[in-house]
């Protein structure tokens, strides 16, 4: 089996995957072995761009998948640190970067307008309402 490398693959199904890949020359019929393949989708908003990350296969408990070369249109090694960081942080469950999870949700932050709890906001709104009513 060859050396492992980060690879972007385009399959005949149209899916674009990012995975750690090695190629196994199986008696002249090479097989691509993918470890933890994910689908990455770029999502642009007015403020910034995000990457939606989801697993290639939702249900399997195995991390390794084998694909024959005839199912791959193209593949290229990537050394893009940003993509590799997103990939590894996703696999480790790290939410410290802006990544849309498979559910499409992003962890709420102060930059998004989260400035108080629901209870605090309720109290402030009640005070405003009472102040207007008394005037």
User: What is the residue extent of each domain of the chain?
Assistant: 5-107
CA 78/CA 94 separation, integer angstroms: 21
40-49, 83-92, 96-105 — which one is most confidently predicted on average?
A: 83-92
- Domain formed by 5-107, architecture: Roll (2.30)
**55-64, 104-113, 114-123, range with greatest mean pLDDT:** 55-64
The burial class, CB within 10 Å (0-12 / 13-18 / 19+), for 15 is: exposed
Give percent of the chain with pLDDT exceeding 90: 24
Enumerate the β-bridge partners of residue 19: 7
So what's the pLDDT on residue 36?
92
What average pLDDT does the segment 102-129 reach? 73
The tokens of 118 are what? 């629901």
Rg (C-alpha) for the chain, rounded Å, is 22
Model confidence, pTM: 0.63
Query: Quick one: pLDDT band at residue 112, thresholds 50, 70, 90?
Result: low
101 pLDDT band, cuts 50/70/90, is: very low
């Amino acid at each position: 089996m060859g050396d492992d490398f980060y690879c972007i693959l385009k399959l005949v199904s149209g899916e674009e995957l990012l995975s750690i890949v090695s190629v196994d020359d199986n008696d002249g019929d090479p097989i691509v072995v993918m470890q933890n393949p994910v689908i990455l989708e770029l999502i642009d908003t007015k403020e910034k761009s995000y990457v939606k990350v989801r697993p290639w296969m939702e249900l399997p408990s195995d991390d390794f998948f084998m694909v024959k070369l005839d199912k791959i249109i193209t593949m290229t090694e990537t050394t893009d640190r940003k993509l590799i960081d997103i990939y590894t942080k996703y696999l480790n469950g790290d939410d410290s970067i802006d990544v849309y999870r498979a559910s499409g949700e992003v962890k709420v932050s102060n930059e998004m307008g989260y400035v108080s709890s629901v209870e605090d906001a309720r109290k402030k709104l009640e005070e405003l309402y009472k102040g207007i009513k008394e005037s």
